[in-house]
Amino acid sequence: MASGKLTNEIIDAAILGFEEQKRRIDTQIAELRATRTGTAPVAGESARRPRRKMSAAGKKAIAAAQRKRWAVAKSSPVTPKSAKKPKRKLSSAGRANIVAALKKRWAAKKAAAKK
């Protein structure tokens, strides 16, 4: 840029010139987009597909199917959580077997420690 002083008139003229260039470029871009067919969208353009429309008959069929599913779900009996199994009890004979096995194991360990 020149080292001269910029006046408001010069700045306004520059702004008008750049805006005219921008308008010209925008029209060229619009013309190019209009001529382009069957290509992927360019960055900046929306890449979304148009929303699919559903017919009234389709909506009714879906609603009827959902009502049928709800009717089946509501008619089936509600099953509560599985009842807890009663706690198993150890018989006296089983307890005696365990005690005998432990005594035998400890006796063997003491005998091995003495050797």
The 10s digit of each residue's pLDDT in 58-103 is 999 999 999 999 998 888 776 667 778 888 899 999 999 999 999 9
Helical residues (DSSP H) of 1-115, grouped into ranges: 8-35, 56-75, 92-114
Reduce the DSSP state of residue 19 to 3 states and report it: helix
**Residue 42 and residue 48 in contact, taking contact as beta carbons nearer than 8 Å:** no
Question: What is the DSSP-derived secondary structure letter of residue 90?
Answer: -
pTM confidence score? 0.29
What mean pLDDT value characterizes the chain? 86
From CA 25, how far away is CA 17, in angstroms rounded?
Answer: 12
pLDDT of res. 95: 96
Half-sphere exposure of 76 (CA within 13 A, CB side): 8
Q: For residue range 16-54, list pLDDT tens digits in order.
A: 999 999 999 999 998 888 888 655 555 555 667 888 899
- Residue 96's closest CA among 106, 88, 104? 104
